[in-house]
Amino acid sequence: MKEIIDIIKLDEIGRIEENVPLKKYTTYKTGGNARCVVYPNNSRNLVKLIGLLKENKISFKILGNGSNLLFSDKNYDGVLIRLSEFNDIKFLARNKIRAGAGVSLIKLSLLTAKKGLTGLEFASGIPGTVGGAVYMNAGAYKSDMGYIVQRVKVLTPDLKIISLENKEMDFHYRSSFLQKNKGYICLEVLLKLNKGKKELIEEVINERRKRRLETQPLEYPSAGSVFRNPEGNFAGKLIEDAGLKGKKYGGAMISDKHANFIINYENATSSDIKYLIDLAHDTVLEKYNIDLKIEQEFVNWE
């Protein structure tokens, strides 16, 4: 690995950090250390980096804001790639916006509100990046990225840059083409919003922020909703009805404010959190025969 890190530095592929605690990069604030985190400074260097890692059979992972990930407590001995430098935002004609994969979704939502553009209000409380939101088809309040994405520029597994139209992205509830086709990486997104009244848009955002503060445990590290809502039901209600609301294990807890949140309330480990995720899933399955789908991704647990 040292030789590869030296090449990355020599070729000026981007900023590099070594032996970094993963709690710095995940909203759960847990995990072991990452051997190496690289911030490529453009698409060309991203291609060069991934080609180098593949050629040397070194594992790697694209990392956004870490808001939907649970790394294990073990050290990650591969390369984490952050696209923070892919952060351009351009407001185009006909209410279109081009945004890089590394742009904060919350920041973009607030910027579009100031411009009097409606359609991204649902994202004002989602602490991810644009790239991660497209990958997950992130959504809330009966809307999601699939409603506003026109085109996505991606890097393919064979390191070619292509564009995928909305229909090709196969957006469904918390799902997209990128999830089902591993190795494709979102680089940039073209969004289409609608003209609205700035005051009304900001009013909706503020009202929803207030509601989130009242109903979600935002004062603690978490990764948002742990499970997808099953059709016609709510994961949080099922977990609460199963008697698990407020359940603690180690430093983790199934939130007593919203049972579909697991919080790091007192120096939890990733193993503490995973225990409660598994407990909630298995208990709901046993009591109600409902197989809750986990929204979060487990990394480095093998």
Is residue 228 flagged as an active site residue?
no
Query: Do the beta carbons of residue 205 and residue 110 sit within 8 Å?
Result: yes
Nearest partner of 295 among 220, 241, 225, judged by Cα: 225
Q: How many whole angstroms separate alpha carbon 289 and alpha carbon 283?
A: 9
Q: How many whole angstroms separate alpha carbon 257 and alpha carbon 253?
A: 11
Q: Which of 222, 225, 255, 270 is catalytic?
A: 225
Query: Do the beta carbons of residue 177 and residue 170 sit within 8 Å?
Result: yes
Is residue 302 flagged as an active site residue?
no
Q: Where do the H-state alpha helices sit in 59-120?
A: 105-114
State how far the alpha carbon of 268 is from the alpha carbons of 18, 20, 179, 217, in Å.
24, 18, 28, 16
Q: Which of 174, 208, 212, 228 is catalytic?
A: 174
Q: Where do the H-state alpha helices sit in 56-197?
A: 105-114, 130-136, 177-180
3-class SS at 109?
Answer: helix
State how far the alpha carbon of 15 is from the alpha carbons of 40, 52, 58, 175, in Å.
7, 16, 18, 31
Nearest partner of 31 among 219, 252, 253, 268, judged by Cα: 268
E strands within the chain?
14-21, 33-40, 60-63, 69-71, 76-82, 89-91, 96-100, 117-118, 139-140, 143-144, 149-155, 161-165, 185-192, 194-195, 248-249, 252-254, 262-264, 297-299
Active-site amino acid positions: 174, 225, 295
